[in-house]
Chains A and B, each alone.
Chain A
Amino acid sequence: MNYKRILNFAITKPLVIYCIVLLITLLSLAMLPKIVIDTDPENMLSQEAPARIFHNQIKTDFLMRDMIVVGLVSNNTMFNPNTLQIVEQLTDDILKIEGVIASDLLSLTVVDNIRQLTNEQGISQGIQFEYLMKQAPTTIKASEKIQQAVKRLPMLNNTLVSGDDKAIAIYVPIIAKDQSYVIAERIRALATNTSADTQNDLTFHITGLPVAEDQFGYEMFVQMGVAAPLAGLAIFLLLWFFFRNIALIIAPMIVAMATVLIIMGSLIGFGFTVHIMSSMIAIFLMPIAVVDSVHILSEFADRFKAGDDASKTIKKVMGHLYKPMLFTSITSAVGFYSLMLTPIPPVKVFGAFIGSGILLAFVLTITFIPAYIARMKPETLAKLQRAVQLMEKKGRLASSLEKLGAFSVKRTKLILITFIAFFVLSLVGVNRIIINDNPVNWFKADHEIRIADKVLNEHFAGTYDAWLVFSNNNLQQQSALENFNSILDTANNGATKTAILQAHQQWLKREKNQKNSFFTPDLLMLLDDFSFTANVEEQAWLEQLYNISEQANNSQKIFTDSAMLNWLADLQSALVNNGDVGKVNSLTDIISTVNRELNSGEDKDFEIPSSSNGVAQTLLQFQSSHRPQDLWHFVSPDFQRTLLWLQMTSGDNQHMAKVVNWVDTYISENPPPLNVQHQWAGKSYLNVVWQDAMVSGMIDSLLSSFVIVFIMMMLLFRSVKYGILAMLPLTFTITMIYGLVGWFGKAYDMPIAVLSALTLGLSIDFAIHFIQRVRELEAEKQSLRVALSAMFQEPSRAIARNAIVIAIGFTPLLLSPLMPYITVGFFLASIMILSALVTLVLLPALLTLTTMRQAS
């Protein structure tokens, strides 16, 4: 066997092994400074994911920005000179911050009011566009005027000012998401200054997904610097507790450190970003990496007698452990590699690098540890042996395990019934699982972002955005194109005709699917330009061409159509009445508001003009404001697409999914008057998409790794029966863990999802070691009974010890300020303890039962 040669080499040339490990580790260490943190939940979808491409297209086309939401909240009305002055000052200061897109900032001081002026006799003096609050008012009366004005502006009401008038928001658009933490910090500093010199009960909040994401990245970085070393420390202390020998336990620590550094170094070196998932790699690998070493050390300490040749003993130990260690490593790796079947890039990277890390740890363990032990001084080895014996003689662990073993063998039926009962109960729990995630909930409930999120969403219509985009599905330009071409055919030849033909040819080439219209404003401008250079003969047909094109272009502008707009307005109010959406901002509000002020100024005129030209002319007035560009957030300049901005009070994927379903149903029950299609964009929607992908991806990943591990087990044990037995503990553990998740009402989110693979990879280890040893002992002692009772001596202690090492190794995660880490830490510790218990209870009971049946 090849490993023997490797082992001989390692024992005889330990320095070579040391040098190789050191060199690779140093090389990886050099990569670490190149780290790039990625906290964008968008990256849960690959760059090519259609939903993501569409989302970004919409973001560009409609100039939708990443927004930081700043909220000022009071117990009383905000409409007094003092508070409004603070709003003004804060807005002015925020506008000066580098990285803020000033023209798109939304605050009372920069938005427009459109109103109708009347004189004392109540006679209209015309309409007026003016800044809503160019300067903060100095009187209560003037403040209340602003309050009343906001109530009449549906675009601002409940977005910039809360319905109860106790909160005012500033929406701060930023040029890049990765600047949001820095900008948010600067705004916080500004807020501290402003609130310092005010006596009232004003509180300040800051939220918005970009802030949450960026803040999360910052804390994740801190987390990695704290939790990973803590996990290392916990494992070190635990090993010291088990082996009481610093020199000896340095070896597994070196294996763990080298594994973590090489894996993280290569992850960064290969150019992968460190995402929330990959930031946990270090913490995952550390305990897993020492597990094999613990087996080796345990058995070595067991076999080594004073005066023995350490090299010979270690060779024996390694020959004995090599196969189960290889298999446990491969099965664990398979569990993690199976994550690569999910369609979520960060989870793929996570799976790939942990899988490889496990294999690397195995390689390091089987080379470095023997090399290290072979070089140890005899007196150190003697000390080790004493310590181990001391520990193994007595102790609660040993006696509890013996009792447990006796129980498992005697109470087989009770155990089986209990397990089946638990299994059924767990299945019920699994069915109760709620699939949900919300990046803001990645923070603990008392985190300032969670508090801001809660407070602002209590007051406003919602700080979570989704965009519902309708687009023209029917360009209806065929007859116009035919007309255009037939006129062009009969036109006299010349430079003008050639140029127009060329434009048409280019369009045909570019637009094979005719997705974009030929009749664009650019074409109209081209034709218009020609009309100035053309000769008299050309003028006639040029005008005809222009008219056809103009008409075709005009008829494509479906979002000036009154029936279409009224349908949208109905959808909007139905959405809000349904209760899941706080508010919808859209084109129809803009049109109706301007129309109202153009006419009587009374509510009865808050409606869409009856003709498409009426709509266009109303919008021309809207564009005569300070912020004409605001229009293009809601409709594309060609009026073939419109965007409804939905404000929701929670970022729960579940909430978003409900709205998506509701809209689908509404549209199928109330078909739109024109042929339009609807699509979703916005962060809340993207979260739903990747979550769906994750759930189905996880099922694939779990099933495939289950099958692979099952086949491997049958190959390893060369027995279907033992193959099935080996799969049972993990089957129970996974079902029970997810049953627990269901019963506790904990939402199935990303960290919970990856746990299945971890459980599969880790709990199979115990089963392998258990079955392997039982079979060896059974062959040796010729009795399953004797073998089982022997099992509850050293072998069961090794299993229990390993479970404890890993469980405790993950506990530093519980100290994290970030929820996903806490979740993973808690569940992993539970999984380790549970699967060790299941292995030690269920397997002996089943083995006893099956043997009894065979005997009878």
Chain B
Amino acid sequence: MSIKLSYKMIKAIKHSHSLWLTLSLFLACQSHLHAEESTISAIKTTPINITNKTENLAVKNIIDRANLASYYAGEDGSAEARMIIVDENGNRQMRQFTILRKDVQDLGDQTMLVFFSKPSNVKDTVFRVEKQLQSDDNRWLFLPALDLVKRISAGDKRTSFVGSHFYYEDVSGRNPNEDNFSLDSEDGSTYTITASPKDPQSVEFNHYVVTIDKQNSLPIETTYYDHNDRAIRKMTVLQVQEIDGIATVVKSRITNLNNNSYTEMQFRNVKYNLGLPDSIFSERSMRTPPKAWLD
């Protein structure tokens, strides 16, 4: 079996991004890059033959394409996100926010803003992120009720995103360099890949298994296992929509399999290539949101 990747394919992948993972990018805290320049050029130029010898390289390519599909869409974008957090008692909470994102450089640095709108007591809370590939991301926080802009220090990325089941790393994407991958199986439409962390101490799981859709390269299901090989956590894509020709995840869910609590993330009003000006990605926008781009 062989997979040929041409530059054209790369182009296609670049456009079939998923928004849920795009959001991740907005929230990315550090320079965990999922598809670095060098890798990209490798994919661009080298046709890949999956044989025993080159299997590792082939798996790496699948992963890189998945990350490409997941993390880079258009030159910029905006979307309204709604998170429904359901605890083990069935209590439901809602969070809503709007994301503005702009790529500084294709597959390179990015800058973004997250504006909370609901519930009303956290309305106008803003996250601002400068994602940098060569150094730690810069992150700031604006809390309107405390009239406070605060820098968020770089740190562990497997912390909860505002109380949901999504970790920062789930939304920003986990750096492929942190894991070893092996292709478990493939069928007509999917690859199944197992990933094991290179530094087991840095994460709460033992390994995870990800299923990737061959057609749009989107990871459609990821299951995390603990040291007793028990499934503890699961990401499932619930709905994919074609938006401006880009396959976009508009509904996904992360479930804590220990108690079946979960968070569902939905995207609405997804737009790409809006021509967002650089100037709005500033501290000033945190206190005075750029209304024109938020409606």
Q: Which residues of A contact B (CB under 8 A)?
A: 60-61, 63, 96, 101-103, 117, 124-131, 134-135, 521-522, 524-525, 528, 532, 550-551, 553-554, 557, 560, 595, 598-599, 609, 611-618, 620-621, 623-626, 628-629, 631-632, 636-638
Partner of A623 from B92, B150, B160, B228 at Cβ < 8 Å: B160
Q: Which residues of B contact A557 (CB under 8 A)?
A: 121
Residue from A557, A609, A621, A631 having most chain B Cβ neighbours under 10 A: A621
> A623: nearest residue on chain B (CB-CB)?
B163
In the complex, identify which listed stretch (B18-26, B66-74, B140-148, B274-282) lies at the interface while the others stay far away: B140-148
Given contacts A613-B145, A617-B125, A637-B87, contact A624 B163 (CB under 8 A): yes
Q: Are A620 and B156 in contact (CB under 8 A)?
A: no
B152, CB-defined interface residue at 8 Å: yes
Q: Are B152 and A128 in contact (CB under 8 A)?
A: yes
Docked CA distance A557–B96 (Å): 18
Q: Are B145 and A620 in contact (CB under 8 A)?
A: no
Q: List 21 A-B contacts (CB under 8 A).
A: A60-B89, A103-B256, A117-B153, A127-B151, A127-B152, A135-B201, A521-B92, A521-B93, A521-B119, A553-B119, A554-B121, A599-B148, A616-B145, A617-B121, A617-B125, A617-B143, A617-B145, A621-B143, A625-B160, A626-B156, A628-B164
Q: Are A525 and B146 in contact (CB under 8 A)?
A: no
Given contacts A125-B151, A126-B153, A637-B87, contact A618 B160 (CB under 8 A): no
> A522: nearest residue on chain B (CB-CB)?
B92
Chain A min CB distance to B3 (Å): 39
B8, CB-defined interface residue at 8 Å: no
B268, CB-defined interface residue at 8 Å: yes
Q: Are B92 and A598 in contact (CB under 8 A)?
A: no
Q: Which residues of B contact A129 (CB under 8 A)?
A: 155-156, 159
Given contacts A128-B155, A609-B145, A612-B121, contact A63 B89 (CB under 8 A): yes
Docked CA distance A553–B119 (Å): 10
B171, CB-defined interface residue at 8 Å: no
Given contacts A525-B94, A613-B121, A624-B163, contact A130 B155 (CB under 8 A): yes
Q: Per-residue 0/1 for B63-89: is the Cβ within 8 Å of any A Cβ (1 yes, 0 no)?
A: 000000000000000000010100111
Docked CA distance A331–B121 (Å): 69
Docked CA distance A613–B147 (Å): 11
Docked CA distance A251–B163 (Å): 72
Q: Which residues of B contact A (CB under 8 A)?
A: 82, 84, 87-89, 91-94, 96, 116, 118-123, 125, 139, 141, 143-146, 148, 150-156, 158-164, 201, 227-228, 256, 258-259, 268
Q: Are B119 and A127 in contact (CB under 8 A)?
A: no
Docked CA distance A544–B116 (Å): 20
Q: Are B121 and A616 in contact (CB under 8 A)?
A: yes
Q: Which residues of B contact A632 (CB under 8 A)?
A: 87
Chain B min CB distance to A779 (Å): 75
Docked CA distance A615–B119 (Å): 13
Q: Which residues of A contact B256 (CB under 8 A)?
A: 103
Q: Which residues of A contact B145 (CB under 8 A)?
A: 609, 611, 613-614, 616-617
Q: Which residues of A contact B143 (CB under 8 A)?
A: 598, 614, 617-618, 621
Q: Which residues of B contact A61 (CB under 8 A)?
A: 89
Partner of B160 from A130, A525, A617, A628 at Cβ < 8 Å: A628
Q: Are B153 and A125 in contact (CB under 8 A)?
A: yes
Chain B min CB distance to A549 (Å): 11
Q: Which residues of A contact B82 (CB under 8 A)?
A: 528
Chain B min CB distance to A63 (Å): 7
Chain B min CB distance to A393 (Å): 76
Chain A min CB distance to B257 (Å): 11
Given contacts A528-B82, A618-B146, A620-B122, contact A127 B93 (CB under 8 A): no
Given contacts A550-B119, A550-B120, A598-B146, contact A131 B156 (CB under 8 A): yes
Chain A min CB distance to B279 (Å): 24
Chain B min CB distance to A611 (Å): 5
Docked CA distance A599–B149 (Å): 10
Q: Which residues of A contact B141 (CB under 8 A)?
A: 621
Chain B min CB distance to A373 (Å): 66
